[in-house]
Amino acid sequence: MRKIAVVGSFVMDLIAQVDEFPQEGQTVIGKGFVTLPGGKGANQAVSASRQGADVAMYGRVGDDDFGKTFLGLFESEGIDTGRVKMLKEFPTAMGLIQLNRSGENKIVVVPGANFGYELDDLIRDSEDFLKADLVLAQLELKPEVTFKLIELCFDAKVPIILNPAPATAIPDDILSKITILTPNETELEILSGLPVNSLESAKRASEALLEKGVKCVVATLGKAGALIADKDGFKAVSGFKVEAVDTVAAGDAFNGALAEGIAAGKAMEEAVRRANAVGALAVTQRGAIPSIPKRETVDAFIDASQRVDGFSI
């Protein structure tokens, strides 16, 4: 088994389905509503686990029904939650999601218990998560907690993947300590300060991050696939053709699968290609965690599917 430590968020998603997103000041009639477990940390932990990794989760939930739902779910998924505590002073985080008929989404996250995971908690947990083969993190905890996590992994020589979402500025001294950075197009623009609207512009933006000290950039480019950038140059890895119904958690599904592949010792291009397949399958189902495919489903999909011809964004 490949031991992956996910230090990150739990978010219960409250999802309203609409034909079109409301404009400012406008009210629209929804087509449906559902409550589903999600959060970038939780999604990525489940994705890595469903691809075969031994996963431990670190973070906080509220002492409420949503928190109990998460702990029950993770037990059923075989994910270690021994370091996850329930907090009485914070509710479990919630994501308020609008999903339109094209599968696009708009999301507001209320951090709740995620911001109850403090630096002291991180330091205590480090004696455990620094024993992992790889650490996976996002930006839904307090920034100072995630930045300290990156420093701890760097000092201990434990590889860390940072999915820089939700997008925010990251100091250069922190960027220089990241093993693998996985931005989407918007995040790549924000972190590099450069526009991203083509493969060549994605290369320039990724190169700017390499110059800041990031060891490897894996930029996710939607249906086009992904771009790998490191000291050896660039490699575009094509995506897979699917009919998207819901893009929620597609990036998280990708990141969890990528972490599993790297922890398993796969070459980067092979790990990214499989992660592309996992992300593609996720957009064919609604919801966050419910959309994340299991290993056998991914195997069959890769064998039977057709990758996108060429590479353009």
Q: What is the pLDDT of residue 154?
A: 98
Contact between residue 211 and residue 231 where contact means Cβ atoms under 8 Å apart:
no
Q: Indicate the residue type of 127.
A: E
Q: What is the percent of the chain where pLDDT is above 70?
A: 97
- Looking at residue 246, its pLDDT comes to 80
- Active-site residues: which are they? 252
pLDDT number for residue 122: 98
pLDDT at 306: 57
pLDDT tens string for the chain (313 positions)? 569 999 999 999 898 999 999 999 999 999 999 998 999 999 999 999 999 999 999 999 999 999 999 999 999 999 999 999 999 999 999 989 898 988 787 888 899 999 999 999 999 999 999 999 999 999 999 999 999 999 999 999 999 999 999 999 999 999 999 999 999 999 999 999 999 999 999 999 999 999 999 999 999 998 899 999 999 999 999 999 899 888 888 999 999 999 999 999 999 999 999 999 999 999 999 878 999 999 999 999 998 875 555 555 5
- 160 CB-near residues (< 8 Å, 6+ apart): 134, 135, 136, 137, 149, 150, 153, 154, 178, 179, 180
| DSSP state, residue 93 | P
pLDDT of residue 308: 55
Q: What pLDDT sits at residue 107?
A: 83
Q: What is the pLDDT of residue 313?
A: 53
Alpha-carbon span 6 to 252, nearest angstrom: 12
| CATH superfamily, domain at 3-304 | Ribokinase (3.40.1190.20)
Q: Which tokens belong to 216? A: 């490897």
Regarding beta strands 216-220 and 180-181, do their DSSP bridges make them parallel or antiparallel, or are they unpaired?
A: parallel
* Domain ranges within the chain, ordered by starting residue: 3-304
Q: What is the pLDDT of residue 108?
A: 86
| pTM over the 0.95 mark | no
> Are 304 and 221 contacting, i.e. CB atoms less than 8 angstroms apart?
no
CA angle 197-198-203, nearest 5°?
110
- In the chain, the N- to C-terminal Cα span, in Å, equals 36
What is the 8-class DSSP label of residue 92? P
Distance separating alpha carbons of residues 272 and 282, to the nearest angstrom: 15
Write down the pLDDT at residue 261.
97
Q: 3-class DSSP state for residue 33?
A: strand
Pairing of strands 3-7, 134-137: parallel
